[in-house]
Structure 1
Amino acid sequence: MHTISFSEGTLLTPWKPGPNPHPSGPVFVSVTDFLARSQQEWLEIYRAGDELAQAWPIMQGAVGLWFWGRPGEHRGGSVSVWQTESDMRRFVRWPKHTEIVRAWRGRVGIGLDSWQAERFDADEILTRAGDTIESPHRHAA
């Protein structure tokens, strides 16, 4: 299990494995950072993410995922790990995902970070994801 700790007030859900939780070789990591205008919006975004995560165990190319949140700042998001960038992009184009994105477009701030990791190492991934999580929210360009 991971040994990374984030600052006080940051919540991290347990690892939710995808259909390929033990990949060999490189993986693609995506970190999302949502900034809501209120606690109510933050909870709605969390529920939408949780609804998407119900399909996670069968999501093609998914290695696994953590949700993170800073309720006191109305911020949260996910750290998702994929076999390839193409797998992540297929998820982004998934109709259920695009429907949620359209519903929230312009209502919340969104920040993103992504990278190719040499291998799946939870501590290394969470350490780098922490750079996004621990930084003040920046809106994506």
Structure 2
Amino acid sequence: MATRLLRSRWQSGPVPLSLCGAHISLTDFTATTHPQAAAVALAGLRLRRTWPRTPGALGMWLWADVPGRRSGAVSVWRDEVALKEFVGRPDHLEIVRAHRGRGALRATAWRVEDFEPDAVWDRARALLTGTTPWPHGPVHLEDA
């Protein structure tokens, strides 16, 4: 059975999309149980509310699989520096620490010279559905 992915509407950040290049980040969290998956998804929705004010953010999609133990985000950044600043934000670190030991996390990033939303989503979907292999395996959060 093929993986079915649902995604949110595009959520713009404060940086206009007219900039040339972009840094793309894809995260994939697989929870050990369905209730833990729901808690991670809700945490992602809370972070999404801050997106319009997140420095360096161009935009994002949240995604989840059906029936629902995996979720994550495809986020688009001005550059790698902006992504690293977000990863180190206290509210983001709080979520990572809260779910440590409750699943496995994979993440990857790549640069595009011209941001094409459909092309970025297609590449992310290929990774998430297994059509394209991930550059490296999952990290168990107790190891992170």
Whether TM exceeds 0.5 here: the answer is yes
Structure 1 unmatched ranges of 5 or more = 1-6
Structure 2 unmatched ranges of 5 or more = none
RMSD: 1.9
Question: Distance in 2 between the 1:21 and 1:66 partners?
Answer: 16
Question: Distance in 2 between the 1:45 and 1:112 partners?
Answer: 15
Of stretches 15-24 and 77-86 in structure 1, the one that deviates more from structure 2 is: 15-24
Q: Secondary structure at the match of 1:100?
A: helix
Instruction: Report if aligned partners of 1:9, 1:71 keep a CA contact under 8 Å in 2.
Output: yes
Distance 1:71 1:8, change over 3 A: closer
Q: Could you tell me how far 1:80 is from its partner in structure 2?
A: 0.2
Q: Give the one of 21, 33, 36 matched to 1:38.
A: 33
RCO higher in 1 or 2 (8 Å CA, sep ≥ 6)? 1
Q: Could you tell me how far 1:105 is from its partner in structure 2?
A: 1.7
Task: Output the TM-score relative to the length of structure 2.
Answer: 0.86
Task: Output the TM-score relative to the length of structure 1.
Answer: 0.88
| Regions of 4+ moved over 2 Å | none
In structure 2, what is the equivalent of residue 20 of structure 1?
A: 15
Question: Distance in 2 between the 1:115 and 1:8 partners?
Answer: 23
Matched letter for residue 130 of structure 1: R
Q: Could you tell me how far 1:68 is from its partner in structure 2?
A: 0.8
In the alignment, is residue 81 of structure 1 matched against residue 50 of structure 2? Answer: no
Question: Distance in 1 between the 2:126 and 2:106 partners?
Answer: 12
In the alignment, is residue 111 of structure 1 matched against residue 110 of structure 2? Answer: no
